[in-house]
């Protein structure tokens, strides 16, 4: 008999097979997932503004070295070869949602091409953006020594591939970076500073700095582990850059703003390492690692929620419940309560809890709350209500990937003409205004086609 202090799952009495659905633990924009492109590039958020200049591609990492002297000779021609990039296709996208690939005009200046790419990203056309990023990288517009621009474009290519459902292709292309811990990717800290005729005795000793932007390094760790078929590579890579973050935090000469950035990065790496262990299936090691992460008062609510979600993925409901303690005031803390009910199989209770959040006019995540409430309604046998709720979100232009997948699941359960309904759903979404918040180039898997 299970110990009363341990969580034990309720036994399902239903004979109906569990439906294939998606929730907050496996959504494409899950906070435990890969680095988000939109949070790393400062993009214009108005797709109709028309003032895209492409300047954001030079500012991927605020702590990256400035332009390096020509004498340093960092030639990135190996990232500009045609043969490292895969050809992309529209065949796995429903016809109403397909967009034509844009052909690069070599007669246009580089700034115009970067502005076009920036507009594609702001519109959420990630597959088209991945294709166009490759066109720029392999064109004569790029100088092999322009490391900031090349790394930014390469990151854009990989991130867009992953966001458009082409993670395997991104993993293969990430192998072109080879070993990111090699000496080639490091410079001494004083090499990117203006030269002086005399040595400043009070200046700190030079140290090695990495020239690859941090978001690309974090993304490459995961993708290369997939590309090389070695999950342990991901753990080792995260620990390697984690040691670097610790060294940066301990330096006396950096200012507090920079120190805070490195602390946030280190905390993020700790959570990512636990998530990597979960993906490997080593739940015991994941739990030990998660318990060893030091919580501090500076932890934001989103960091706490990420930890709680990991505990739920591991199956430790009690630890997840303790993350926020008795505080339920924040938006993230309120989300945890219905998730705990779902983990216990109490879907009727979860419906009531989601409904309270859904009716809260002060919240700005009503679409996420609605789709989770619909999943609970589905598991409670209330298919019609679940369908109406999901369709109302689509009508309100809240059609992100998980919601579409769940609505397609409902169509399969309640109609003999599910494929026709899915096709109509794709046509409706294709006619909606562009928000730039979600991927427009949705694959067939989102619609279960």
Rounded CA separation 384/232 (Å): 45
In order of 146, 160, 392, the CA distances from 142 in angstroms are 7, 20, 46
The mean pLDDT value for 440-448 works out to 88
Which ranges constitute the DSSP H helices of 58-206? Answer: 110-123, 126-137, 147-163, 167-174
DSSP helix/strand/coil, 258: helix
Dihedral-angle region of residue 160 (phi above 0 means left; psi in -120 to 50 means alpha; beta otherwise): alpha
Residue 52 has pLDDT above 60, yes or no: yes
Determine phi and psi for 37, rounding to 5 degrees: -60, -40
Rounded CA separation 63/267 (Å): 17
Rounded CA separation 422/419 (Å): 5
Enumerate residues 6+ apart whose C-beta is below 8 A from 166.
88, 127, 130
388 lies in a domain? yes
Question: Which pLDDT score is estimated for 338?
Answer: 92
As to burial, measured by CB atoms within 10 angstroms (0-12 exposed, 13-18 middle, 19+ buried), residue 74 is middle
In order of 85, 138, 169, 170, the CA distances from 175 in angstroms are 11, 17, 10, 9
Task: List, for residues 412-442, the tens digit of each pLDDT value.
Answer: 998 889 999 999 999 999 888 877 667 888 8
CB 98 within 8 A of CB 429: no
Question: What does pTM read for this prediction?
Answer: 0.84
Rounded CA separation 5/268 (Å): 30
Question: Which pLDDT score is estimated for 38?
Answer: 44
CB 371 within 8 A of CB 26: no
151 lies in a domain? no
Rounded CA separation 365/360 (Å): 10
CB 124 within 8 A of CB 435: yes
CA angle (136 as vertex; 134, 137 as ends), nearest 5? 65
Total number of domains in the chain: 1
Assigned token pair, 98? 């397909």
Domain CATH number, residue 422 = 1.25.40.10
Question: Which pLDDT score is estimated for 19?
Answer: 54
Residue 158 has pLDDT above 90, yes or no: yes
Residue 355 has pLDDT above 80, yes or no: yes
Task: List, for residues 83-94, the tens digit of each pLDDT value.
Answer: 999 999 988 899
Rounded CA separation 158/165 (Å): 11
Q: What percent of the chain has pLDDT over 70?
A: 79
Q: What percent of the chain has pLDDT over 90?
A: 44
Residue 343 has pLDDT above 50, yes or no: yes
CB 245 within 8 A of CB 268: no
Question: Which pLDDT score is estimated for 436?
Answer: 67
Torsion of CA 425, 431, 435, 437, to 10 degrees: 30
The mean pLDDT value for 247-264 works out to 89
Q: Among 52-61, 344-353, 365-374, which is the least confidently predicted range?
A: 52-61
Residue 1 has pLDDT above 70, yes or no: no
386 lies in a domain? yes
Assigned token pair, 417? 């003409």
269 lies in a domain? no
CB 337 within 8 A of CB 22: no
Question: Which pLDDT score is estimated for 71?
Answer: 53
130 lies in a domain? no
Rounded CA separation 211/150 (Å): 11
The mean pLDDT value for 121-148 works out to 93
CB 68 within 8 A of CB 191: yes
CA nearest neighbour of 276 among 290, 264, 295: 290
Mean predicted lDDT score pLDDT of the chain: 82
Q: Domain of residue 354: give its range.
A: 334-449
Q: How many CB atoms are closer than 10 A to CB 210?
A: 18
445 lies in a domain? yes
Assigned token pair, 357? 């959040």
DSSP helix/strand/coil, 107: coil
CA nearest neighbour of 112 among 32, 172, 52, 197: 52
CB 330 within 8 A of CB 300: no
As to burial, measured by CB atoms within 10 angstroms (0-12 exposed, 13-18 middle, 19+ buried), residue 202 is exposed
The mean pLDDT value for 139-149 works out to 91
CB 240 within 8 A of CB 272: no
Assigned token pair, 8? 């034990």
Assigned token pair, 196? 């002086």
350 lies in a domain? yes
Residue 399 has pLDDT above 80, yes or no: yes
Residue 29 — very low, low, confident or very high, per pLDDT cuts 50/70/90?
very low
Task: List, for residues 7-26, the tens digit of each pLDDT value.
Answer: 444 443 344 445 567 765 45
Rounded CA separation 418/428 (Å): 15
Rounded CA separation 177/174 (Å): 6
Residue 254 — very low, low, confident or very high, per pLDDT cuts 50/70/90?
confident
Residue 293 has pLDDT above 70, yes or no: yes
415 lies in a domain? yes
Residue 4 — very low, low, confident or very high, per pLDDT cuts 50/70/90?
very low
């Amino acid at each position: 008999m299970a110990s009363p202090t341990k969580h034990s799952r309720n036994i399902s009495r239903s004979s109906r097979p569990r439906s294939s659905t998606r929730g907050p633990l496996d959504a494409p924009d899950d906070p435990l997932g890969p680095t988000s492109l939109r949070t790393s590039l400062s993009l214009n958020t108005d797709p109709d503004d028309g003032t895209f200049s492409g300047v954001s591609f030079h500012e991927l990492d605020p702590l990256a070295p400035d332009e390096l002297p020509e004498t340093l000779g960092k030639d990135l021609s190996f990232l500009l070869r045609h043969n490292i990039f895969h050809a992309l296709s529209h065949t796995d996208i429903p016809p109403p949602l397909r967009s034509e690939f844009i052909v690069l005009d070599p007669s246009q200046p580089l700034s115009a091409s970067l502005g076009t790419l920036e507009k594609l990203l702001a519109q959420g056309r990630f597959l088209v953006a991945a294709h166009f990023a490759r066109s720029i990288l392999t064109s004569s517009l790029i100088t092999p020594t322009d490391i900031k621009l090349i790394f930014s474009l390469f990151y854009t290519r990989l991130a867009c591939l992953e966001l458009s459902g082409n993670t395997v292709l991104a993993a293969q292309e990430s192998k072109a970076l080879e070993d990111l811990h090699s000496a080639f990717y490091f410079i001494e800290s004083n090499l990117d500073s203006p030269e002086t005729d005399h040595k400043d005795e009070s200046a700190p000793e030079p140290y090695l700095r990495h020239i690859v932007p941090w978001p690309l390094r974090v993304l490459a760790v995961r993708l290369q582990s997939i590309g090389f078929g070695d999950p342990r590579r991901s753990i080792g890579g995260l620990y390697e850059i984690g040691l670097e973050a610790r060294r940066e935090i301990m330096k006396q000469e950096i200012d507090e703003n920079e120190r805070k950035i490195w602390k946030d990065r280190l905390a993020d790496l700790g959570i990512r390492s636990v998530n990597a262990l979960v993906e490997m299936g080593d739940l015991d090691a994941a739990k030990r690692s998660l318990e060893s992460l030091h919580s501090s008062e500076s932890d934001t609510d989103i960091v706490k929620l990420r930890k709680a979600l990991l505990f739920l993925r591991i199956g430790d409901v009690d630890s997840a419940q303790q993350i926020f303690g008795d505080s339920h005031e924040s938006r993230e803390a309120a989300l945890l309560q219905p998730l705990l009910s779902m983990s216990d199989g109490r879907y009727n209770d979860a419906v009531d809890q989601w409904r309270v959040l859904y009716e809260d006019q002060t919240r700005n995540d009503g679409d996420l709350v609605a789709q989770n409430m619909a999943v609970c309604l589905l598991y409670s046998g209330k298919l019609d209500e679940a369908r109406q709720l999901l369709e109302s979100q689509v009508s309100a232009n809240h059609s992100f990937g998980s919601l579409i997948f769940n609505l397609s699941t409902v169509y399969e359960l309640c109609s003999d003409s599910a494929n026709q309904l899915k096709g109509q759903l794709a046509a409706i979404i294709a006619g909606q205004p562009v928000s730039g918040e979600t991927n427009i180039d949705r694959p067939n898997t989102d619609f279960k086609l």
